[in-house]
Amino acid sequence: MKTAQTIDGVRKLLAEARQAGRSIGFVPTMGALHEGHWSLIDQARRECDDVVVSIFVNPLQFSPAEDFDRYPETLDADLAGCEERVADVVFCPSVREMYGEEAGLLTRVHVSRLADRLCGQSRQNHFDGVCTVVAKLFGIVGPNRAFFGEKDFQQLLIVRQMVADLSIPVEIVACPTCREADGLAISSRNRFLSPEQRKAATSFYESLSGAVESVRAGRRDAAQLTASIRHQIETSGVDRIDYVEIVDATNLEPLPEIDKPARICVAAHFGETRLIDNVAVDAP
């Protein structure tokens, strides 16, 4: 496994693979790697000749009030894990390498509509930051396939739209959400939960699973379903629910009734820690 801190360096490492016609699989991450990330890397390993992982905590996608300064960094463990998973190249640039001095980037990539909904309502400019860094990383790495988790379902759809709109020649591969034994979606931020908050957070997946069962049993009405999810999360000891929404799985538009493939999406604060989750539901 090779590591590169510079854009030139990673390009040089990949030039040979590209010339030899090897397929490049890419897993962009912010580090603090966990089972969710490993599952993406494993899938890339199975599907591509060469696997590139990037580790970069992207300041552009955090607002000043968010947790950029306390985002966990575990680079040594991340590199050891990547080596174990047989990644070929890990790209871990500094902020200065990616964005230069003071003025930084003057460009932002904005995917309208999709980026303004759900998390976009409370995290202003978040998805512009995500799209800008992902577009830049695609320009640097030039992958054939890039692997994204369904855990961040809105992000997945936005990145798909971006590469289609900008004709970026990469296939976006969706990977299922990895969960703890009790169903909580694995996240780098789970480590910040106190034992009480960790317990309360199980209500997230329990309420979503309950809704999936209700839909299977024939319930279609989104208002009823979201009310019962809200009730379950509220009684668990959550601090603040950000949203509970049932949306069209293709465009994130709210669905009053589940009459096509849909996604139930939730976001809430447990103390200082904001968690998100989502599940697929469909009409019978």
By beta-carbon proximity to ligand AMP, the closer residue of 81 and 149 is 149
**Helices 7-19 and 126-141, packing angle to 10 deg:** 50
By beta-carbon proximity to ligand AMP, the closer residue of 172 and 258 is 172
By beta-carbon proximity to ligand AMP, the closer residue of 36 and 142 is 36
Query: Which segment (63-71, 91-99, 143-151, 262-270) binds ligand AMP by CB under 6 A?
Result: 143-151
By beta-carbon proximity to ligand AMP, the closer residue of 148 and 258 is 148
37 belongs to the binding site for ligand AMP (CB under 6 A): yes
275 belongs to the binding site for ligand AMP (CB under 6 A): no
The minimum distance between CB 224 and ligand AMP, in angstroms, equals: 28
The minimum distance between CB 85 and ligand AMP, in angstroms, equals: 13
Per-residue string for binding with ligand AMP, 173-212, x by CB under 6 A?
Answer: --x-xx------xxxx------------------------
Is 34 a known active-site residue?
no
By beta-carbon proximity to ligand AMP, the closer residue of 29 and 197 is 29
148 belongs to the binding site for ligand AMP (CB under 6 A): yes
Q: CB under 8 Å to 26, separation ≥6 — which residues?
A: 44, 51, 52, 53, 54, 137, 138, 141, 143, 145, 146, 147, 170
Chain centroid, CA 168 distance in Å: 19
- Residues within window 150-179 making contact with ligand AMP, judged by CB under 6 A: 151-152, 175, 177-178
54 belongs to the binding site for ligand AMP (CB under 6 A): no
Catalytic residue among 37, 110, 126, 269: 37
Q: CB under 8 Å to 266, separation ≥6 — which residues?
A: 204, 207, 208, 229, 233, 241, 243, 244, 245, 276, 277, 278
Burial of 100 (0-12, 13-18, 19+ CB in 10 A): exposed
Question: In 3D, which of 141, 111, 146 has the Cα closest to residue 126?
Answer: 111
By beta-carbon proximity to ligand AMP, the closer residue of 57 and 225 is 57
User: In the chain, at which residue ranges do the beta strands (DSSP E only) sit?
Assistant: 2-4, 24-29, 50-55, 89-91, 145-149, 171-175, 240-248, 262-270, 273-281
Query: Which segment (110-118, 136-144, 146-154, 228-236) binds ligand AMP by CB under 6 A?
Result: 146-154
**DSSP one-letter string for 24-49:** EEEEEE-SS--HHHHHHHHHHHHH-S
Q: Which two structure tokens, joined as six digits, stand for 83?
A: 């080596």
Say how far apart CA 49 and CA 269 lie, in whole Å: 40
Query: Which segment (101-109, 149-157, 161-169, 263-271) binds ligand AMP by CB under 6 A?
Result: 149-157
Catalytic residues: 37
Residues that bind ligand AMP (CB under 6 A): 29-30, 36-37, 39-40, 148-149, 151-152, 175, 177-178, 185-188
